[in-house]
């Protein structure tokens, strides 16, 4: 009787096994900076901040719909550009139009641009809350046994201490209630520096190149045994650092070069992250905010020896295998 010879360890078999063991997938998007093409009263049109930002967003929506669709999307802030209180309603209207065709479920939290740095201020949060709901500010949801913690830290250090303490008190409660669950925290402002600290302070040019929030960092460190990753944006560059076993990942977003978003495939023992860059005509439409066009010079640091590695991240920051946690 004829018997097929088993193929052991072929690449295609590994892929099939991988696909078979895949539990779910999600996509991270942030820093798309959608802007209304219409000016507010008295203006002809708003300054066009990031060239073709709306085209890039439309490309991303089409691509996510057409690729094997993820189970859901986490949107980690600066979906709109805003920039001023009176521009927020128009920019959110524009975002609403562009989001209409998107098929997978979307979980959002706020970036500094959604509230012009005014975290916790009802007047500034109104446009975001009207579109996404009062239950989409700081909240959690669970998928496949992982608790996703959407943390609003949009004000970074530009807000009063009591806003920062309230944010951290909420997070502390969530972490202490869920010690036996694996967690992924999503917050707009990274809580560690993903480049050499002094260099990043210069190339980003704003104090919020990380959150400067020792209390928050301490909370994450002390629950490191159950936190897989902290996913962020804000910097418009892609980077990764490991701290006390927690993967701190910041994705550039689409508004300016390198114009990235990330896909995460979750297995029972690992998570595969792949950063995707928009096609050349779109990714080159607005230059990096960390390079020559803005600063008259490029930046590098001790672990990113070329300007492009500094802006895009090394290949090891764009493709990661993240082990799942074994919580005792």
Question: Least distance in Å: CB of 234 to Zn ion?
Answer: 6
Considering the complex, state which of residue 23 and residue 287 has its C-beta at the smaller distance from Zn ion. Answer: 287
Task: By CB under 5 A, tell whether 78 contacts Zn ion.
Answer: yes
Considering the complex, state which of residue 199 and residue 208 has its C-beta at the smaller distance from Zn ion. Answer: 208
The values of phi and psi at residue 136, to 5°, are -125, 40
Considering the complex, state which of residue 255 and residue 266 has its C-beta at the smaller distance from Zn ion. Answer: 255
For residue 158 the two structure tokens come to 């530009």
Considering the complex, state which of residue 78 and residue 260 has its C-beta at the smaller distance from Zn ion. Answer: 78
Residues in CB range of 83: below 8 A, 6 or more apart = 46, 49, 113, 116
- Find the binding residues for Zn ion in span 16-35 (CB under 5 A): 31
Task: By CB under 5 A, tell whether 125 contacts Zn ion.
Answer: no
Question: Least distance in Å: CB of 179 to Zn ion?
Answer: 33
Extract long-range pairs of 307-313: CB within 8 Å, 24+ residues apart.
310/195, 310/203, 310/237, 311/237, 311/252, 311/257, 311/258, 312/237, 312/238, 312/252, 312/258, 312/260, 312/277, 313/237, 313/238, 313/239, 313/240, 313/275
Considering the complex, state which of residue 69 and residue 277 has its C-beta at the smaller distance from Zn ion. Answer: 277
Cα–Cα distance measured from residue 191 to residue 225, given in angstroms and rounded to the nearest whole number = 17
Residues in CB range of 235: below 8 A, 6 or more apart = 190, 194, 200, 204, 209, 250, 252
Q: Which of 65-73, 75-83, 144-152, 266-274 is the region at the interface with Zn ion (rule: CB under 5 A)? A: 75-83
Question: Least distance in Å: CB of 302 to Zn ion?
Answer: 26
Question: Least distance in Å: CB of 126 to Zn ion?
Answer: 20
Question: Least distance in Å: CB of 305 to Zn ion?
Answer: 26
Question: Least distance in Å: CB of 304 to Zn ion?
Answer: 20
Cα–Cα distance measured from residue 328 to residue 321, given in angstroms and rounded to the nearest whole number = 22
Residues in CB range of 320: below 8 A, 6 or more apart = 240, 247, 249, 272, 273
Classify the phi-psi angles of 244: left when phi > 0, otherwise alpha if psi is within -120 to 50, otherwise beta: left
Considering the complex, state which of residue 183 and residue 283 has its C-beta at the smaller distance from Zn ion. Answer: 283
Q: How many CB atoms neighbour CB 197 within 10 A?
A: 12
Q: Which of 4-12, 70-78, 87-95, 207-215 is the region at the interface with Zn ion (rule: CB under 5 A)? A: 70-78
Cα–Cα distance measured from residue 20 to residue 200, given in angstroms and rounded to the nearest whole number = 41
- Find the binding residues for Zn ion in span 277-296 (CB under 5 A): none
What is the per-residue burial (b if ≥16 Cβ within 10 Å, else e) of 214-251? eebbebbeebeebbbbbbbbbbbbbbbbeeeebbbbbb
Considering the complex, state which of residue 22 and residue 48 has its C-beta at the smaller distance from Zn ion. Answer: 48
Considering the complex, state which of residue 31 and residue 125 has its C-beta at the smaller distance from Zn ion. Answer: 31
For residue 201 the two structure tokens come to 């302070």
Question: Least distance in Å: CB of 42 to Zn ion?
Answer: 26
- Find the binding residues for Zn ion in span 242-271 (CB under 5 A): none
Binding mask 29-68 for Zn ion (x = CB under 5 A): --x-------------------------------------
Task: By CB under 5 A, tell whether 91 contacts Zn ion.
Answer: no
Token pair 């539990």: residue: 23
- Find the binding residues for Zn ion in span 203-242 (CB under 5 A): none
For residue 214 the two structure tokens come to 């020792």
Q: Which of 72-80, 98-106, 169-177, 274-282 is the region at the interface with Zn ion (rule: CB under 5 A)? A: 72-80
Total residues at the site for Zn ion (CB under 5 A)? 2
Binding mask 151-180 for Zn ion (x = CB under 5 A): ------------------------------
Residue numbers at the binding site for Zn ion (CB under 5 A)? 31, 78
């Amino acid at each position: 009787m004829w018997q097929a010879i088993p193929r052991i360890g072929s690449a295609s078999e590994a892929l099939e096994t991988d696909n078979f063991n895949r539990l779910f997938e999600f996509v991270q998007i942030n820093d798309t900076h959608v802007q209304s093409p219409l000016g507010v009263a008295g203006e002809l049109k708003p300054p066009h901040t990031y060239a073709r930002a709306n085209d890039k967003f439309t490309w991303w929506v089409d691509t996510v719909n057409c690729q094997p669709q993820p189970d859901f999307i986490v949107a980690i802030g600066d979906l709109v550009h805003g920039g001023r209180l009176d521009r927020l309603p128009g920019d959110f209207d524009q975002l609403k139009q562009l989001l209409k065709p998107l098929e997978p479920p979307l979980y959002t939290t706020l970036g500094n641009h959604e509230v012009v740095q005014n975290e916790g201020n009802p007047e500034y949060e109104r446009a975001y809350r009207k579109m996404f709901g009062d239950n989409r500010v700081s909240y959690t949801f669970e998928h496949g046994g992982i608790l996703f913690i959407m943390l609003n830290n949009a004000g970074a250090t530009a807000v009063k201490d009591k806003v920062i303490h309230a944010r951290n008190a909420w997070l502390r409660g969530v972490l202490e209630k869920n010690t036996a669950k694996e967690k992924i925290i999503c917050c707009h402002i990274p809580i560690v520096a993903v480049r050499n600290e002094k260099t990043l302070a210069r190339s980003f040019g704003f104090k919020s190149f990380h959150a400067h929030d020792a209390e928050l960092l301490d909370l994450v460190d002390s629950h490191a045994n159950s936190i897989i990753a902290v996913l962020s944006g804000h910097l418009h560059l892609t980077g990764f650092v490991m701290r006390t076993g927690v993967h701190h990942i910041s994705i550039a977003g689409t508004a300016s070069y390198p114009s990235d978003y990330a896909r995460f495939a979750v297995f029972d023992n690992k998570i595969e992250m792949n950063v995707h860059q928009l096609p050349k005509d779109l990714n080159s439409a607005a230059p990096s905010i960390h390079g020559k066009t803005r600063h008259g010079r490029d930046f590098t640091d001790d672990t990113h020896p070329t300007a492009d590695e500094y802006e895009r991240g090394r290949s090891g920051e764009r493709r990661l295998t993240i082990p799942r946690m074994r919580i005792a």
